């Protein structure tokens, strides 16, 4: 079946620190992979996506590379800001196209 596992939080970093949030997946076929971000009191917003192996998604300084050999899609940012404080969700679109499978979310707090 399809599932997503992401590192547990919460994660607390100082401003300008390097961020990695791990995400691994289990899927049949060739899923598309996503990172969504949820700011306090809001719905989820797409942060970045990758649709095939070795694709790199990037947005707002965040990057993630679709690694089929390790079934991973880790989120990275070289220098986080206070405004990056949010909950980050890794997700995959299942092969049937009907369902999106989400991880449990990782809460990030960036302190000045």
69 sits near other proteins (criterion: CB under 8 A):
no
When asked if residue 59 is in the footprint of other proteins (CB under 8 A), the reply is: no
Q: Terminus-to-terminus CA distance in the chain, angstroms?
A: 41
Q: How far, in Å, CA of 111 to CA of 63, rounded?
A: 21
* Nearest to other proteins of 91, 110 (CB atom): 91
Contact status: 43 vs other proteins (CB under 8 A): yes
Can residue 88 be called a binding residue for other proteins (CB under 8 A)? no
Using the contact rule CB under 8 A, the part of the chain among 11-19, 64-72, 76-84, 95-103 near other proteins is 95-103
User: Applying CB under 8 A, does 105 fall inside the site for other proteins?
Assistant: yes
Nearer to other proteins by Cβ, of 17 and 100: the residue is 100
Cβ–Cβ < 8 Å for 61, 47 = no
Task: Please report whether residue 29 would count as binding other proteins according to CB under 8 A.
Answer: no
Please identify which residue in the block is written with the tokens 């990782």: 106
Bridge partner list, 36: 46, 89
12: Cα within 13 Å, side-chain hemisphere: 2
How far apart are the C-alpha atoms of 54 and 40, rounded to whole Å? 32
- List of residues contacting other proteins (CB under 8 A): 32, 34, 36, 41-46, 49, 51, 89, 93, 97-105
């Amino acid at each position: 079946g399809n599932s997503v596992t992401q590192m547990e939080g919460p994660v607390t970093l100082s401003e300008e620190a390097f961020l990695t949030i791990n995400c691994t997946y289990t899927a049949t076929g060739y899923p598309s992979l996503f990172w969504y971000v949820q700011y306090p009191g809001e719905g989820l917003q797409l942060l970045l996506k990758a649709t095939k192996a070795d694709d790199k998604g990037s947005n707002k300084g965040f990057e993630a590379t679709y690694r089929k050999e390790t079934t991973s899609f880790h989120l990275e940012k070289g220098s986080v800001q206070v405004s990056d404080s949010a909950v980050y969700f890794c997700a995959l679109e299942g092969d049937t196209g009907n369902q999106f499978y989400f991880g449990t979310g990782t809460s990030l707090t960036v302190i000045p």
